[in-house]
Structure 1
Amino acid sequence: MNPLLLDIPLQLETERLILRAPLQTGEGEIVNKAIRDSFHELKAWLSLFQELPTVEETEILLRNAHISFLKRESFRFLIFDKVGGKDVIGTISLHRIDWDIPKGEMGYWMNTKYSGNGYMTEAVKELLNFGLNHLAFKRIEIRCDSSNLKSRSIPEKLGFVLEGTLRNEDLSADGSKLADTCIYSKIN
């Protein structure tokens, strides 16, 4: 089946969270606030956030994510607390999708002020379930810098297999040194 014909929900729910596709005009402002709140931590791990983006740049990023969602190239969701949460807890996505296998890679970042509550583990578990069961993916990967212990703890808690560490495989987020990349996977 052509992936464009797949029925993909615009919202997923867990016990405490709503994962919603970024499709409303103006959401760049609330996502940009989460980036600003977490900039120091995000800058350490993500090359995308070496400079603080403007609200307009964040809005463009979200609109491009929506286009990719519609084209079934990636599925990015904004994470909100079910109980009246207007702040963005973070974002999570399935990207680098290969429909021939089918497989994808999961990525995520979190608003620092919500760290330590298990929200991202809960969101990853839900998106993993969506990918393996709804999309029938045969493989989902999580890749992260080997020194990012917070990010590594999530696939480890959820039973992903550490397939290996690629040494000197990438540059650090700021581009100043070589970094090792851990590859975790779950297969169906």
Structure 2
Amino acid sequence: MNPLLLDVPLKLETERLILRAPLQTGDGNIVNQAIRDSLDELKMWLPFAQELPTIEETEINLRNAYVNFLKRESFRFLIFRKDTDDFIGITSLQGIDWDIPKCEIGYWINTKFSGNGYMMEAVKELTKLGLNQIKFRRIEIRCESTNIKSRSIAEKLGFVFEGTLRNDDLSADGSRLTDTCLYSIVN
């Protein structure tokens, strides 16, 4: 089946969260504020967070993400708390290979919301979407070996640790080689 024919929801719900595609004008403001609030932590792990993007750059990034969602090249979701409508973070199915089919899950959270299990809840819902509705045969989570919080999410959700890829990537700031931990879940 051509991926463009897949019905992929623009909104997902969990007990405490709403995950929705980045399709509303102004999403760039709230995402940019979360990046600003979390820059010190995000800098450690994410190349995009080495410098604070402008609100306009964030808005453009989100609009491109929505275009990629429609083209079925990746599925990015903004995460909100149901009870307060606070923006929490982002999670996405990315690096899609439709021939297998497989993908990778990426995520980041606003630091002030970390430690409450929100990201684990969001990633669990996205994994269900990927395996049950989209029918991916393999979903990976890759993270730097020293990123204990990210590794913990994969492990608690039952992803299998497949190994450490030594000297696999550059650190987020590009200054040194890092090891990547590879986790997967298969259908």
TM-score normalized with structure 2 length: 0.99
Q: How many residues align?
A: 187
- Separation in structure 1 between the aligned mates of residue 177 and residue 99 of structure 2, nearest angstrom: 32
1:101-116 correspondence runs (5 A): 101-116=100-115
Specify the SS of the correspondent of 2:94: strand
Q: Which residue of 1 aligns with 2:27?
A: 27
Q: Deviations over 1:50-98 (max 9, x none)?
A: 000000000000000000000000000000001122x310000000111
What is the CA-CA distance between 1:106 and the residue it aligns to? 0.3
Q: Which residue of 1 aligns with 2:129?
A: 130
Q: Which residue of 1 aligns with 2:99?
A: 100
TM-score normalized with structure 1 length: 0.98
Task: Kindly report structure 1 stretches of 4+ aligned residues shifted beyond 2 Å.
Answer: none
1:96-175 correspondence runs (5 A): 96-175=95-174
Q: Which residue of 1 aligns with 2:38?
A: 38
Residue identity over aligned pairs, in percent, reads: 74
Are 2:89 and 1:90 equivalent residues in the alignment?
A: yes
RMSD: 0.6
- Separation in structure 2 between the aligned mates of residue 165 and residue 186 of structure 1, nearest angstrom: 16
What is the one-letter code of the residue matched to 1:106?
I
What is the one-letter code of the residue matched to 1:168?
N
What is the CA-CA distance between 1:100 and the residue it aligns to? 1.2
Could you list the runs of 5+ residues in structure 2 that have no partner in the other structure?
none
Could you list the runs of 5+ residues in structure 1 that have no partner in the other structure?
none
- Separation in structure 1 between the aligned mates of residue 27 and residue 45 of structure 2, nearest angstrom: 23
- Separation in structure 2 between the aligned mates of residue 153 and residue 61 of structure 1, nearest angstrom: 28
Q: Which residue of 2 aligns with 1:9?
A: 9
What is the CA-CA distance between 1:48 and the residue it aligns to? 1.0
Q: Which residue of 2 aligns with 1:66?
A: 66
What is the one-letter code of the residue matched to 1:29?
N
Q: Deviations over 1:17-51 (max 9, x none)?
A: 00000001111000000000100000010011100
What is the one-letter code of the residue matched to 2:23?
L
What is the one-letter code of the residue matched to 2:68?
S
Q: Deviations over 1:109-137 (max 9, x none)?
A: 00000011000000010000000000011
